[in-house]
Amino acid sequence: MSSKKKTKALLLGTILILAGLLRFSGLGWGEGHYFHPDENNMAQAVLALDKTGRPDFYAYGQLPLFLALFSARSGSLFSLVRHSNQLDFSKAIFFLRFWSASAGTISVLLVYLLGRKLVNIQGGIIAAAITAFLPGLIQAGHFGTTESLLTFFYLAIAYCSLKIYQEIKLINFIASGLFLGLALATKISAGLFFLLPLAAVSLNLKKEGGLIKNRIVGLVLLSLLALTITLVFSPFLIINFSQSLSTLKYEIAVAKGKIIPFYTRQFLTTAPFWFHIKKILPFLLGWPAFIVSIRGIIGFIQEKKGRSLWLVVLFPSLIFFLYQGQLFAKWTRFLVPITPIFSLLFAQATSKISKPLQYIVVIISCLPGVFFFDLVYNQSDTRYQFSSWAKENLPQASIILSESGNVVNLPIDADRQIINFDFYQLEEEGNLDLLCQHLKMVDYIIVPSRRVFANHPSSSFPATANYYQKLFSDQLGFSLIKIFSPNSRYYWANYYYRKSELEAEETWTVFDHPTIRLYQKTIPFSTKDYQNILSQ
């Protein structure tokens, strides 16, 4: 191996090690309190699968559950993870996160392989480096959910699809079918991933012409294999077909806005596509990588050489974005699987600039990921910080008003009484009077995240918006005394967080690093006074 190749290999190995550190470090975030709703649901499903043989949860497939269960059982052989003989909730959470971190780390290698084919070896290394430091993928790697696995499968299918485009071989279709089946066994919406091999076959036909028999046979084999793998690793799609179908219909109705539960209210006044461009992609990628990758799209349009090879990946990714973008529910997680494609566009955009400038642009674009990791996973969870502070500083027998609707309420010791009021129901008759009674009783008010106050515009939720406006302006007789938010040794990290907390889609900050605001009663009002204030 030449010295140049050794240098490239060493650089790639370093990138993979850094990617692993950024995903596995801080994997126990939350201090034993598990705040992510999907993660909680999946961990409960792992426990149910262990005890009853049925997951009792059908929003996703069973592959991640089987992986976590198998790992937990295997891990019991080692003292490092042997907590008890019986599978518990913490262990289920740990192994769900373990597989997310693993898939996220291996995805960086797949991006390198894709970049090497689409740009060159240097482009592959640049794309891998950017992917390793993307804030959205670092976050997804710390969640015991499906996003990291889906990203890995999407990239694997993309790589196999490039092979199909270059050469119609049975093995390439088999590999694509295998990964597509595993993706479908993770989440049924991964059916969109079929667009990748379909695009490869279509573009290959245009390139080579000739009979389409082999291509059709390949796609049929791919589809049959994918279906078989799906049923093997997610068997309850058929075993509990009625429940699976009912859940699927419900999730589709929520995604399309036909059903609007409390947790989708943030999308009531949002515009398709613009919401993603303004409130999701800049935070998933970090602003520097986002801007440079947009330049990569322009470069692709202008460039003619190798365009068909790029289209194998870009065209399905565009369809994926257009489908997700037009949905009513616009969660950050919906775009995570195609996030690494922006790293490839980044590599394309920087492929023709001088190496010194290239290094500077790459380093600057990696900084948001460093800042994000340091803010969130390199320190205690803000909710745990609040709990420790409250134990030392709030008087015993204090009465505290908080918000319900969270998966886990803020951890507070038993000497202090918490009233968890459902502000999602404040518009309902009688609830405003009940709130006024609570306000008279309590000594403190906690706003545990931006989830309620930022998602209830006065046009649709006048009572809720009015309450928070009066609270924040001290008109309720409560004054802000403490804010718990992620803090870093880096000034720009703190700036980055303050910028993102209210501007990004709520799940970017709510689940793993919310800002907590604590208000203390300074002017005691009567129940009638509160009614008068809140009726204005």
The reply to whether 425 falls in a domain is: yes
Which of these three, 309, 341, 376, is where a domain ends? Answer: 376
Distances (CA, A) of 63 to 28, 126, 327: 22, 32, 26
Question: Which alpha helices (H) appear in 213-354, and where do they start and end?
Answer: 213-233, 236-239, 241-256, 274-279, 281-285, 287-302, 307-325, 339-350
The reply to whether 260 falls in a domain is: no
Counting the structural domains of the chain, the total is 2
The secondary structure of residue 259, as a DSSP letter, is S
Q: How many helices (H) and strands (E) does the chain have?
A: 24, 5
Find the distance separating the first CA and the last CA of the chain, reported in whole Å. Answer: 77
Whether 217 and 334 share a structural domain: yes
> Count of alpha carbons within 13 Å of 401, Cβ hemisphere only?
20
Whether 370 and 400 share a structural domain: no
Q: Which domain holds residue 477?
A: 382-535
Whether 86 and 224 share a structural domain: yes
The reply to whether 217 falls in a domain is: yes
Whether 460 and 367 share a structural domain: no
Which of these three, 354, 376, 398, is where a domain ends? Answer: 376
Whether 303 and 424 share a structural domain: no
Residue 480 backbone dihedrals phi, psi, to 5 degrees: -65, 125
| Tokens coding 51 | 């005890």
The reply to whether 208 falls in a domain is: yes
Angle (nearest 5°) at CA 22 between 18 and 27: 140
The reply to whether 78 falls in a domain is: yes
Whether 129 and 241 share a structural domain: yes
Whether 349 and 390 share a structural domain: no
Cα separation, 104 vs 100, whole angstroms: 6
Whether 368 and 464 share a structural domain: no
Whether 33 and 114 share a structural domain: yes
Max CA distance (Å), the chain: 84
Which of these three, 336, 358, 376, is where a domain ends? Answer: 376
Whether 341 and 389 share a structural domain: no
| Residue-by-residue pLDDT tens, the chain, 536 positions | 678 888 889 999 999 999 999 999 999 998 888 889 999 999 999 999 999 999 999 999 999 999 999 998 886 655 454 445 568 899 999 999 999 999 999 999 999 999 999 999 999 999 999 999 999 999 999 999 999 999 999 999 999 999 999 999 999 999 999 999 999 999 999 999 999 999 999 999 877 766 688 899 999 999 999 999 999 999 999 999 999 999 999 999 999 999 999 999 999 989 999 999 999 999 999 999 999 999 998 888 877 777 889 999 999 999 999 999 999 999 999 999 999 999 999 999 998 899 999 999 999 999 999 999 998 999 888 988 898 899 889 998 899 999 987 666 777 766 788 899 999 999 999 999 999 999 999 999 999 999 999 989 888 899 999 999 999 999 999 999 999 988 877 777 777 777 788 889 998 889 888 999 999 999 999 999 999 999 87
DSSP, residue by residue, 177-222: HHHHHHHHHH-GGGGGGGHHHHHHHHHHHHHH-S-SHHHHHHHHHH
Residue pointed to by tokens 């550190």: 21
Q: Which contacts of 73-77 are long-range, i.e. CB under 8 A and separated by 24 or more positions?
A: none
The DSSP H or E segment spanning 516 is strand 516-521
Whether 72 and 216 share a structural domain: yes
Distance of alpha carbon 225 from the chain centroid: 29
> Count of alpha carbons within 13 Å of 536, Cβ hemisphere only?
10
Residue pointed to by tokens 């068997």: 235
The reply to whether 174 falls in a domain is: yes
Whether 130 and 186 share a structural domain: yes
